[in-house]
Amino acid sequence: MSISAETIYQALYVQGKGSLRQELAVEKALRSGRTGRIPRSRLPQRRGRKTWVEGANISLRPAEAIDRAVPGHWEGDLVIGRGGKNALITLVERSTRFALISRLPEDHESITVTTRLAQMISALPKALARSLTWDQGTEMAQVKAFRIATGCPVFFCDPHSPWQRGSNENLNGLIRDFYPKGTDFSTITDQQITEMQDLLNTRPRKTLDWDTPAQRIEPLLTTVALTT
């Protein structure tokens, strides 16, 4: 027998009794601020053909990216601002949990996202830009131009499978503690985003044996510098 993650979520957040039900009544029972989960629809999803996903499914991602043993494999997503008009690009390196965050103050159309994303990845040493995992959103429709500009392969998660880029989901939740839903990122400065990024990268993590992401990535950058 097997049980899906969604079934577990529904058991916890929809069918909860007693103290759990009471806990769900508070404002921050969920990091998103909602007091209950939004159930995933079981109806067929009618969407257009996502040509940018073809031949780049997450099942084709190198095995070295899966166990986090080899650094340089990133997960990414957007954090959307007020009214869907602006956004942040968020990247996290899978082995060190090091974050890179960039502001898109005007729009998050595909050409805007992939151009800025290429700038972020191109600033990294090649040895630390081995792959990128993203969801199937239309913001990556111009991914071909990104691949040409950076040489970095992109792999796409399965539909409705945010746990396949769980480190990035966790990062985005932490960012929402700084900038809740409804934040207008056009009113936030790049310096403020950099300050938040630095705070997140110097935050000790249990999963890193209480090291910080900055401590974990520093020797990797030094090693790359010595070998180039």
DSSP state of 134: E
25, pLDDT greater than 70: no
18, pLDDT greater than 80: no
CATH architecture of the domain covering 51-191+201-212: 2-Layer Sandwich (3.30)
Segments making up each domain of the chain, as ranges:
51-191+201-212
The predicted model gives 37-51 an average pLDDT of 60
CA triple 70-75-79, angle to 5 deg: 155
> Which of 117, 65, 59, 64 has the alpha carbon at shortest distance from 88?
117
Share of the chain above pLDDT 70, in %: 79
Identify the pLDDT of residue 43: 45
Q: Can you list the alpha helix ranges (DSSP code H) found in 156-212?
A: 166-178, 190-201
82, pLDDT greater than 90: yes
Answering whether pTM is above 0.75, one says yes
The predicted model gives 76-85 an average pLDDT of 96
Identify the pLDDT of residue 223: 81
The predicted model gives 60-68 an average pLDDT of 91
The answer to whether the CB of 143 falls within 8 A of the CB of 114 is: yes
